[in-house]
Structure formats: structure tokens, C-alpha cells
Amino acid sequence: MTATALFCGDIAFDVALRVPRFAEADQKMHAFENLVSAGGVAANSAVACARQGVTTALLALVGDDVLGAYAVDFLAARGVDVTGVTTTPGMTAVSVCTLAEEDGEKRLVYTSSVSQYPPPERLRDAELDGVDWIHTSCLHPEAAAVLAERARAADIPMSIDLEPSALAHGAEALAPALYEAAVVFLNERATAEIGDIHAFCARHRLKLVVCTRGSHGAALTDGSNEITVAPPPTGPIVDTTGAGDCLAGVYIARSLSGSDPRSALRASVASATHACRHLGAQGGYPDRETTDELLANGWPREPGTPA
């Protein structure tokens, strides 16, 4: 029986531009490399999961514009089931990312839009039969809480990408969505804002928390014990956009394929590190065979092992 992962959240139209350096005021800078794609936290994670060979579906909204149509077609071509993506009047989100050639440092401009998150009423009626895992964000806490309640009732594991912007809603607003989550993914900024991760796990009865650490890899904890994985030395970093989304999508895929948390984390860090060597949020997302090759070649390493 094939496992199915459902991703719920945002879709954006992404533009990535590599430049020799960032432009000064009133200076025109020519990009020497560019990429146009579909993006967004949910969309990126869905593609990363699909690339690992897991049946993947997306529940989202797009605007009734040409950018929304492009994004849906783009995701479908990458193996994501987009039948749960609906069109609504308005503009699809646009993300423009400028990256400096020397170190991959980025500057990001993002427009809010109708494609941020499906409304609660859409999630109350969403079809969950045959779904084995749900992944979402808390960009819309009320809607995420509806999905979380349905996941708990159906005994479907649910993971959450808790971005720093979501923390602005406050602990009380986030609690219904976070309660008993299978995994919560935190980036470095979110981890710093939360502070005591063990208390955070206990407060929301979380099963696992994965904290990404940029160039230092990632750590996984159940509130008591911690597993850390550090990436190997890598070549030049081209683009870190979507690396955390890649990590989450691969972790979910590997978990659904039977991997234990340590093995899933190793595969996730290896895949996210590989992705950072390519332009665009999804440009370097590896397929399952590539991830397996990375692991076979010693990617990534656990602390204390020789580089």
C-alpha cells in the first residue's frame, strides 16, 4: 500500500536572481543567472516529498491570475497532486529573491495575497480518506487548528512548520494547532524566540521537534533526548531558499517509508545541503536515488565523526 502525504498551506510565484553583488541605491545590476518557479512553504515541502517517491497532495488556494495557473502547472509537473488546489479571486503571492554570488546571501521581497492559506471552512470539508500524514504551517492559526483537530480525530500524524512570523500570533492562538503534533519544525530564529524547547515540547505534548541550524545541520528532540546531525563540508552555497522546506518534505517522506527518526533526519540534512548548491527553492531538491547516494558517500556526518 502506498503512503500519501497531504500538504496544506501557501503557494507563491518565485523569482530567483543571482547577481555579482547587491546593487547600491539607484544602481542597475544585471543578474547572470535566474530561475522562475512555484514556491511557498507548503508547495516546496510537497515537491521535496514527491521527489522522494511518496504520493503527495497539496491543499491550497491560488489567485485567478496567470501566476496562479503557472504555479499549479509547475507543481503538477513535479509529481504533486494539485486537485486540492482551488482558485479564488485575487492575486497569487509573488516572491523575488536576489542572491549574491560570493556567499549566497539573499534579500527577499514577498507580497501577501489570497494564496497564503485555505480558510477554515475549506478545511472542514477537505477529504482526508487515504491520507497517512498531514503537514502544514501556522500562518492562519484558526484554520490550522481545524485541520489539526480533524487529524487527531482520524489518528493521522501531523507535522507543523512553525515559522517566526507565526509566533507573532501568540502561544494561546497557536496551542490548538500544535497540540500533540507528531513533529514541529523550527528554524534558528523560531528556536531562539521559543527558548526552552523542552518546556515547549511538554506544554504542547509534542512528540518530536526538529530544529534546523543552517550550516550546522539540525537537531531532533523528544523533550528529553537529542539527536544532532551536522552536514559535511560542502562547496559554495548558491541559494539557501527553501532548504528548511526541503528538510521537512524529505523527513516526512522517509518517515512514511519506514525510517526511524535518526535515519530520517540524516536523509533530510543530506538533501537540504544538496539543495543549497543550486539556484531556486526547488532547483536542487534531490530524488530518492540521489539522497541514497549522498548517504552512502557519508552524507551527512554525526558530531564527532571525521569529515
pLDDT digits (tens, 9 = 90+) for 49-77: 999 999 999 999 999 999 999 999 999 99
Q: What is the pLDDT of residues 71-101, one digit of tens each?
A: 999 999 999 999 999 999 999 999 998 888 7
Cα–Cα distance, 287 to 52 (Å, whole number): 5
First to last CA, the chain: 39
Reference 290, options 306, 272, 302, 263; nearest CA is 272
Q: What is the pLDDT of residues 176-225, one digit of tens each?
A: 999 999 999 999 999 999 999 999 999 999 999 999 988 888 999 998 89
Q: What is the pLDDT of residues 244-278, one digit of tens each?
A: 999 999 999 999 999 999 999 999 999 999 888 88
Other beta carbons within 10 Å of 303: 10
- If phi > 0 it is left, if psi is from -120 to 50 it is alpha, else beta; for residue 180 that is left
- Give the best-scoring range by mean pLDDT among 112-126, 143-157, 274-288: 143-157
| pLDDT value, residue 119 | 94
Is 7:59 a contact under the CB 8 Å cutoff? yes
The alpha carbon torsion through 281, 166, 9, 285 (nearest 10 deg) reads: 20
Is 144:120 a contact under the CB 8 Å cutoff? no
Q: What is the DSSP letter of 224?
A: S
* pLDDT, average across residues 31-44: 90
* Alpha helices by DSSP H, the chain: 41-51, 66-77, 120-124, 141-154, 164-167, 171-178, 188-194, 197-204, 243-256, 261-275, 288-296
Cα–Cα distance, 62 to 65 (Å, whole number): 8
The answer on pLDDT for 226 being more than 70 is: yes
The answer on pLDDT for 117 being more than 80 is: yes
Cα–Cα distance, 83 to 54 (Å, whole number): 16
